[in-house]
Structure 1
Amino acid sequence: MSNKPVSLTTPPDGYSDWLTDLKNRIHHAQQRASLAVNRELVLLYWQIGQDILQRQAAQGWGAKVIDHLAHDLRTAFPDIKGFSPRNLKYMRAFAEAWPDSEFVQGVLAQLPWYHQLALLDKLPDAESRRWYAAKAIEHSWSRNVLVMQIESGLLQRQGKAVTNFEARLPKAQSDLARESLKDPYRFDFLNLGEEAQERAVESALVRHVTEFLLELGAGFAFVGRQVLVDVGGEEFFIDLLFYHLKLRCYVVIELKTGKFKPEHLGQLGFYLTAVDRQIKGDQDNASIGLLLCKSKNKVVAEYALSDKSQPMGIAEYKLQQALPAELETDLPSIEQIERELQPGNAD
């Protein structure tokens, strides 16, 4: 057999497409393998937690058994991280929080262990944990994004904007549109004081468009800032224009630094008409408007929206946020667990 190096020549027709297909298949296989490993790890940790719970309940073993178990498991498996007393306590808490094995296997096993720690550490009840777990799976959130969404109170804000969608949009689109908006929006990532003016907030949002899109939620795509529309020979500028991929429509966002006033909706409606006539394609649905203001009277907002024929929503935005204090717990922090699971670290 010849050991001569292979001569690289121009590949034959179709080679590039074949190579691209192979790389995609290899990448997908790697992803499936990684998911399978994670699934087995999460299920193993749940089973260990269940064993600890059952034996402590049945035989009256105290907390010290976890220290003994950690020592013996690390002696038996010195190259495997994750059997520290801290992580075993999390396994016990994990099994206690999720007694339904079918839910663990069908849903939670899709999330990495670090995500499980965040759900346990940051949330007090099963209902909120289920909601955030489902969202993390749906939107492929990283652990850091999951924690940020929890700490910003996404569950309490989702779908809370005052809108007229129910009366102005078909049922299916109305529900999705309502859930796509929240109230209030948190813009504390801008590091701006409450006195910041509209143009300063607008400019900062564009500079931090990645964080802005994350706060807006899944489906929003940035189109432009100060988008020009020419109406009757006069120039008008839309503060921020987005396209929502799931709703298949443009979303016009107007910023107001003061309290909401009913006349603000007249300007927003004008921009919606301009976008629908000049920008919207035949395949797009009617555009939606979102007015972001520093404060609003909910009753006034509902009255103002009631006679508007175009779909609109009104929500507040906050430039600074006091994060809620972390829940008191006897479990170690997520950061502690992460440090000890890193290669080369051990208790």
Structure 2
Amino acid sequence: MDQKYRDSDSEIWHSQVPNLEVFPFDDYLSIGFTHHRVILSKVKNYEERIFYISECAHSKWGTRELEKMIDEDLYHHQGTLPNNFAQTMTPGMQALKAVSTFKDEYLLDFINVEEIDVRDTADIDEKVVENSIVNNVKNFILTFGKDFAFISNQYHLDAFGEDQYIDLLFFNRELNCLVAVELKRGKFKTSYLGQLQGYLSVLDGFEKKPHENPAIGLILCKDMNKSFVDYVIQDYSKPIGVATYKTSRDMSEELRKALPDIEELKRLLDTEE
């Protein structure tokens, strides 16, 4: 970075930092001038600014990715999903990592909501959502978070003569475990927890490698009562979290205009590869 820009940027930050002793200088120096300008212009709260600096440094976001995460309000959605990780995962640090890995809401702005709306049944609706994610898996992983690798959709589980299919199966390198995602078009139902717990039992018994941690499950639904989910999920013995998702139709016009173009995101991801 040009020294005059670094000095100018530093002066702006130092004029607004309440405590330089805890300021993440290594993270600050590792990201570009344009990133700092985006954070300063779009984020007003100091703690939020520090959060986005650190995420930029560790996740190596481009400015487009940074703007998308700010517009999605990642700061307030990270690690707040209803879950039972503390009770079902050992050691404790693994549970903390899992909590910080998932958000309570995901923006799936690439889903063709017009196609979904003409369908009649919830099952078909979920299939359309699934196909949209598979066809845009790069964008989904960008939304889902770092360290995820996509394994398969409709992953076949064959145990005791019972055929079962997981909507989406991922592997997370940081957590060192399989992550099963079940898509639900409507509002959360308690029956979803039992279904997903059964899938996780089979994954741990038949699919998990010896060096891997037990699988984690995520229910991704359109709506939920968070207090209710937080209460009922504690009685389940497998690590499960519940999150909601929004499509472009659910967003305000102002937010839709602020989001980067999907084709541009694809181009940037292809360039990076």
Q: TM-score range by the shorter chain?
A: 0.7 to 0.9
Aligned to 2:268: none
1:180 aligns with 2:101: yes
Residues 115-143 of structure 1 deviation map (CA, whole Å, 9 limit, x = unaligned):
01101111112211111000000111111
Q: Which runs of 5+ in 1 are unaligned?
A: 1-37, 51-92, 327-347
Q: Percentage identity across aligned positions? A: 33
Distance 1:273 1:45, change over 3 A: same
For residue 8 of structure 2, what is the amino acid of its counterpart?
Y
CA contact (8 A) 1:168 1:311 kept: yes
1:214 aligns with 2:134: no
Distance in structure 1 (CA, Å) of the matches to 2:221 and 2:251:
19
Q: Secondary structure at the match of 2:229?
A: helix
TM-score (norm 2): 0.83
Aligned to 1:270: 198
Distance in structure 2 (CA, Å) of the matches to 1:169 and 1:43:
43
- Map 1:1-347; keep pairs closer than 5 Å: 38=1, 40-46=3-9, 50=11, 93-94=12-13, 96-98=15-17, 103=23, 106-170=26-90, 171-193=92-114, 195=117, 197-320=125-248, 321-322=250-251
Flag the structure with larger Rg.
Answer: 1
Tell me how far 1:182 sits from its aligned partner: 0.6
Distance in structure 2 (CA, Å) of the matches to 1:192 and 1:97:
42
Distance in structure 2 (CA, Å) of the matches to 1:281 and 1:178:
23
Q: Which runs of 5+ in 2 are unaligned?
A: 120-124, 256-273
CA contact (8 A) 1:198 1:256 kept: yes
Tell me how far 1:248 sits from its aligned partner: 0.5
Aligned to 1:34: none
Tell me how far 1:222 sits from its aligned partner: 0.5
Distance 1:233 1:324, change over 3 A: same
Distance in structure 1 (CA, Å) of the matches to 2:203 and 2:18:
51
CA contact (8 A) 2:24 2:50 kept: no
Q: Secondary structure at the match of 1:310?
A: coil
Distance in structure 1 (CA, Å) of the matches to 2:26 and 2:153:
43
Tell me how far 1:188 sits from its aligned partner: 1.5
Distance in structure 2 (CA, Å) of the matches to 1:225 and 1:212:
13
CA contact (8 A) 1:226 1:237 kept: yes
Indicate the structure whose relative CO is greater, using CA pairs within 8 Å and at least 6 residues apart: 2
Q: Secondary structure at the match of 1:97?
A: coil
